[in-house]
Amino acid sequence: MNNEARVVVTGLGAVSPVGNDAAAVWDALVAGKNGVGPITRFDATGFDVRFAAEVKDFDGTKYVPPKELRRMDRYTQFAVAAADQAVRDAGFDASRVDGDRFGVLIGSGIGGMETFETQHRLLIEKGPGRISPFFIPMMIANMASGIVSIRFGARGPNFSPVSACSSGAHAIGEGFRLIRAGHADLILCGGAEASITMMSIGGFSSMKALSTRNDDPLRASRPFDRERDGFVVGEGAGIVLLESMEHARKRGARVHAEIAGYGSTGDAFHITAPTPEGEGAARAMTLAVQEGALPLDAIGHINAHGTSTPLNDKIESRAIRSAFGAHADRILVNSTKSMTGHLLGAAGGIELIATVLAVEKGVIPPTINYEHPDPECDLDYVPNKAREAKVRAALSNSLGFGGHNVSLLVKRFES
């Protein structure tokens, strides 16, 4: 381990329901701003669920010419914007780095769902001759990673993890590993998703995964609260620039934090439900801390997966207790999904950014809508109000349908 490169975060980029850059997202999270509201992306009349956490006031032409933008699905537009922000935040000129040592890993759980639905309607209504020649490259889940690599001349490792709601976190974890092992110097990584569509909302609703608080959407996403009844679909992108510390130091880069560990496990249990005691999630957290060569009691904060579903929240709470024992009572656990909704494959990217900034700035954003304590969720969830707390190290958890568990270890940077 001592011979492997240290990996630092030098750039942050975000598009989300609570803000369209990392600084705006951070300010909103600390303030407890809620990004949930009525669906405007389509006419939701007749749907059991008529609200979501949409991205507002997004102008893709700030990043891409209009003609080029029309050839990108919404999820790719979000990814390009967030990647551009991360590069700018990192303060580096992509043309002056070795492109062969520069990679892009952007995960997406679903990919171009909006494009798929639009083109399918054209097929049914007007026949196969009206299907766009851009249908396939707009729809496939790897295209965000491909387009970002083209944009910045990144010729290093380039792929798109697809592991449902763990996709963005897997991308960051694999980026961390590639730099740590010496296969790259820099990697843009994270997740992007734009699945507030008729099929997506209808499908998640059909499987009873979503909150149905149509009369009170602002209070619908309530992780760890006894009256939680499902998650709220969100959209956006969270992209970070990872660098080897040596590379960052040579160019005089500002460092936000260090990524020091990555735990990735599988439940091998059920297509949607986690293992009853959260063994897989507990192992992922333990592995991440072990890789960072830290004692368990060094962890002061966990940005939990915290979806606001009855099953996830109690089992993730059990997993944290299983991994940390008595120290679990001293960990500040939050779920930023209470404000952003669940960004699916982009959740891991946005939440890693929130975790990095929590460690860097010494403030833990709240879990909003926490009103009714649940005996099965018995940790400190930082209810309703941000809390100042200087933590040495924190974890960001992402858990996906299919039994995919990821935990990323963030450390305060010390040169």
305 is an active site residue: yes
Give the span between the Cα atoms of 102 and 283, in whole angstroms.
31
342 is an active site residue: yes
165 is an active site residue: yes
* Strand-strand pairing, 51-52 and 186-193: unpaired
The phi, psi pair for 196, rounded to 5°, reads -90, 80
Which residues are within 8 A (CB) of 317 and not within 5 positions of it... i.e. 6 or more apart? Answer: 224, 278, 333, 376, 377, 378, 379
Side-chain half-sphere CA neighbours of 23 within 13 A: 3
- The CB-based long-range contact list for 210-213 (8 Å cut-off, 24+ gap) reads 210/48, 210/49, 211/49, 211/308, 212/48, 212/49, 213/51
How far from chain centre, in Å, is Cα 350? 4
Among 165, 247, 256, 404, which one carries the catalytic annotation?
165
Among 170, 256, 301, 305, which one carries the catalytic annotation?
305
Give the span between the Cα atoms of 391 and 395, in whole angstroms.
11
Structure tokens at 303: 């940005």
Among 170, 256, 301, 342, which one carries the catalytic annotation?
342
SS3 assignment, position 314: helix
| Catalytic center residues | 165, 305, 342
